[in-house]
Chains A and B, each alone.
Chain A
Amino acid sequence: MPVLIAATHRLRLMLFLLVGMAGIAQAQPSREYDLKAAFLYNFASFVEWPPQAFDDERAPFIIGVIGRDPFGATLDEIIRGERAKGRQLIIRRFHAVQMVRGCHILFVSRSERYRLHDILRHARGHAVLTVSDIGGFTEAGGMIGFDTEQQRIVLQVNPSAAAAAQLVISSKLLRVARVAPGAMQP
């Protein structure tokens, strides 16, 4: 059963998601990305960042989207009024690869598949949870990849990559995800 977990109090979106659940596999890109946007936000709850990931107590929690934003307004809708780790949530959209270090979660758009290695290299050494739906993302050294399998979004997790970035992925998340085979350190 296709289920969308989303922010609770946005009725319009909720109805929109519910209606969209039936035919998600027919690759209606916006509905698929609605779900992915929700997952993106949910990762904040199932992953632990090291304390040095934040400048201070009041520093916001930043979700970055590099490349062409596939979510449209959905991501903004989902996080409006929400907090993560007790912090203000901010979406940053950019193209400059230097900006990945400032993010806590980084979604790499498919538009960036050609400079994926460059992006991952820039992120390395920083507590940045890298997420993408580019095929072979985890194998390439990304931490969480979205695969679509039998009309369902399946999570591919590269725990060693996460561990290298001092991120702790909750076992609960690991239980619903697949550990990427042959995942290598980027």
Chain B
Amino acid sequence: MSWLADLPVQRKLRFAMLFTSSMALVLACGVFLGVEYNGYLRNIEQTMAALARVTANNSTAAIAFADPDDAQENLEALRAEPQVLAAALYDSSGVLIASYRAEEGVALPEVAPDWIGPREIEDGVVHVEPVVQESRRLGTIYLQGTLEQLYARMRIYAAVVVLVLAASIALAWMLASVLQRTLARPVIELASTADAISKGSDYSLRARQYGRDELGRLTAAFNAMLERTQQAVGALRESEARFRQMADAAPVLIWLADTSGGCTWVNQRWVDFVGKPLERLTGDGWIDSIHPDDRPHALEAYHVAFRARKPFYSEYRMRRHDGEDRWVIDHGIPRFGAGGDFTGYIGSCTDVTDRKLGEQEVALARDKALAASRAKDEFLAALSHELRTPLNPVLLVASDAAQNPDLPESVRADFDLIAKNVALEARLIDDLLDLTRIVRGKLSLDLRPRDLHVILQDAIATVWSDLESKGIRLHLDLAAEQSVIWGDAVRLQQVFWNVLKNAVKFTPERGEVSVETRTLPESGRVRVLITDTGIGLTPAELGRIFEAFSQGEHAEGTKTHRFGGLGLGLAISRMIVELHSGTIHATSEGRDKGATFHVELPLALDHQLPETGRAGNPFTGFGEPVIEAPVRAERHAIEPRRSVLVVEDHQPTARTLTQLLTRRGFDVVAAGTVAEARAAAAARQFELVISDIGLPDGDGVELMTELRASHPALRGLALSGYGAEQDISRSHDAGFEDHLTKPINVEALDRAVAKLLVK
């Protein structure tokens, strides 16, 4: 019925009304005709049955007494009945006795049918009746009726029905035409309005409303929808226009793609960039602008992302209108509708050619700078090594001679001066290296929970000889209840050593230095105060003593350089303290009023250190401190003729070491390379190995590991240029129990050797 669906509503309504009324009429007439036909048929059948019975009854004697004339006469009497077309009479054995035909040519059965009653045949009805006399079956009568009369009547009825139908349909048509106008008008109005809108996109049109029935409400709803659509379309157009304006004004190339991946739009800047009209860029046209070498990977990135509905970045060259290939970064993101359905892609291309060139330059510059920096580091490391190495034998010889009781007092003083200045020189080199490393952020701290008091005691030990020699009185008050901090012990010791050294340096003979610690519970810190009775600091000096290469006025003003040094120590100390999240500052009441250095460090409150042997250290006493010399190497402590293997490639240092140790009664063998050391160790047994770390054919750490493998009892002392902390831990792991940094002070050497061999 698709043809019906396409009909205009007007005709559909008319058709529906006509069809309905016609169907009703046809049905009614059909039923009428059917009932009439059936009734008439029954009537004929009944008539036939009655006639058959009467004729049969009249014919009994004719059959019984074989009188065909009478039989014929009986049948001929049927001529009065126009419905009877033919009749036949049979005897009891079924033989035809008499027959009657209203018309010529009607066929009759030759013998009696074997059934009784009415039957319908083509164009007629048949009735077969038995001929019975006193319940004796004498024969059979066959009666055939024609339906011609029935048909004639039906034909008349049919003609009447057709006339009635035609009249009814004509009437229905007229009524339908009137009615459908009322029904269809709103629908037609709606449809024509919708047509006009879809053709012209003019959403200001409204459908006229007829009445307030369902159609009227539909029209009202349609108009309301139009109202909203009009607003939405307006907003959309405005939004679209705004988007186009923004997109055209944007400094990047913007594109839109539909769900199939084809480009649907690019902004004006794109058109200007490639110098082609928009029509040549939509679809796959934009691909022509991509550099042929970049097309495969650019399209690959695009299609892979497109299939996955994911954002993508790709970088390729695009041919600009002036023929120049420009690098662009294409960034596309998938668009989804309000319902989450995929609606295509939007993306932008940014010309990154200049940036790319800049990046290349920057990368080049960075590489250069890195190389230069590495070269500088290497240079500084080499410089440090090279500057210190020659100081080694000088310091060893000078410090040894200064303590040699065989020399006259004046000569010893000269040697002492030499030793002190060489040590100062070495210190200066170390400070310079430290400073550069900290400034460059290259200093790594070995942070662990440490007891600050232990660190302070170790620092004090290093200045003990100076205190003693200047007759300065040390007052210790280590009263902090909590003293565990997160810190690098070596570096913090360096800080306190620097501060103490300054205090000792600027305090006149017989002066006093005090060290106090206090816990600051409210800030979770511990404070260290180091106070001296020295020359004090002016306010100006206070402001800059922690800056590199500056010293107090007292230093500048005196040309004698009585106090020596460039003042790097405090600058380094401040940096180290700050790396520990601590603070350091100094206070002074003025010239000759002494100075106090305040160091505050955060406590590691959660950590408790196990009690160490140091608990019984005399420094921790209260009240009047008991001052005692720290462990000190005495000459007599070293037993004679113990064997030592010295591995050092710097010949002057090796020679000096050998001389010093021999003089102290050791049996010394010197080796300049790993190979020589290995040979020497194979030839005889040594108790101690003193080895440089860097050797011409290898590494002292590896050598020690190897020697310890065959002689577990062997003790080791590592020597190295002022080195990195990892060198120290590596050497410790290999079996070196102590580590001395060059240049080596003879006292430090004596202490270390004594400590190792006493164990």
Contact = CB atoms under 8 A, between A and B. Distances in A.
Given A153-B66, A175-B70, A176-B67, A3 B91 contact: yes
Given A8-B137, A14-B93, A18-B95, A3 B68 contact: yes
A148 interface: no
A5 B64 contact: yes
B66 A172 contact: no
Contacts of A175: 61, 70
Query: Chain B interface mostly helix, strand, loop or mixed?
Result: mixed
Contacts of A6: 92-93
Interface in A1-23: 1-6, 8, 14, 18
A30 interface: no
A49 interface: no
A172 B92 contact: no
Contacts of B559: none
A8 B67 contact: no
Nearest to B97: A3
A4 B92 CA distance: 10
B406 interface: no
Nearest to A176: B67
Nearest to B69: A176
Interface string B92-122: 1101010000000000000000000000000
B63 A46 contact: no
B70 A176 contact: yes
A179 interface: no
A3 B63 contact: yes
Contacts of A177: 65
A3 B137 CA distance: 16
Contacts of B63: 3, 5
B669 to A, nearest CB: 161
A12 B153 CA distance: 52
B134 A39 contact: no
A35 interface: yes
Interface in A119-161: 152-153, 155
Interface in A48-103: 85
B723 to A, nearest CB: 149
Contacts of B137: 8
A1 B133 CA distance: 22
Contacts of A172: 58, 60-61, 133
B205 to A, nearest CB: 97
Nearest to A171: B61
B138 interface: yes
A175 B61 CA distance: 8
Given A5-B92, A18-B95, A42 B68 contact: no
A45 interface: yes
A35 to B, nearest CB: 7
Contact of A45 (B67, B92, B93, B133): B133
B442 interface: no
Nearest to A35: B66
A111 interface: no
A173 interface: yes
A45 B134 contact: yes
A5 B133 CA distance: 13
A1 B67 CA distance: 8
B95 A173 contact: no
Interface in B359-402: none
B141 interface: no
A39 B97 contact: no
Interface in B45-72: 58, 60-68, 70
Contacts of A39: 64-65
B66 A5 contact: yes
B136 interface: yes
A170 B61 contact: yes
Contacts of B91: 3, 5
Nearest to B65: A176
A42 B65 contact: yes
Nearest to A84: B134
A66 B117 CA distance: 44
A3 B90 CA distance: 11
Contact of B62 (A2, A8, A35, A176): A176
A176 to B, nearest CB: 4
Nearest to A173: B61
B322 to A, nearest CB: 127
Contacts of A85: 134
Nearest to B72: A1
B131 to A, nearest CB: 10
Contacts of A173: 61, 64-65
Nearest to A7: B92
Contacts of A46: 60-61, 64, 133
Contacts of A2: 66
Given A8-B137, A172-B58, A172-B60, A3 B66 contact: yes
A3 B94 CA distance: 12
B93 A8 contact: yes
A24 to B, nearest CB: 10
Contacts of B139: 5
Interface in B135-150: 136-139
A35 B60 CA distance: 16
Contacts of A170: 61
Contacts of B67: 176
Contacts of A4: 66
A95 B592 CA distance: 204
Given A3-B95, A18-B93, A176-B70, 9 more contacts: A2-B66, A3-B66, A5-B92, A8-B92, A8-B137, A45-B60, A85-B134, A172-B61, A176-B67
10 contacts: A1-B68, A4-B66, A8-B137, A42-B65, A45-B133, A45-B134, A46-B133, A85-B134, A153-B66, A172-B133
Interface of B: 58, 60-68, 70, 91-93, 95, 97, 133-134, 136-139
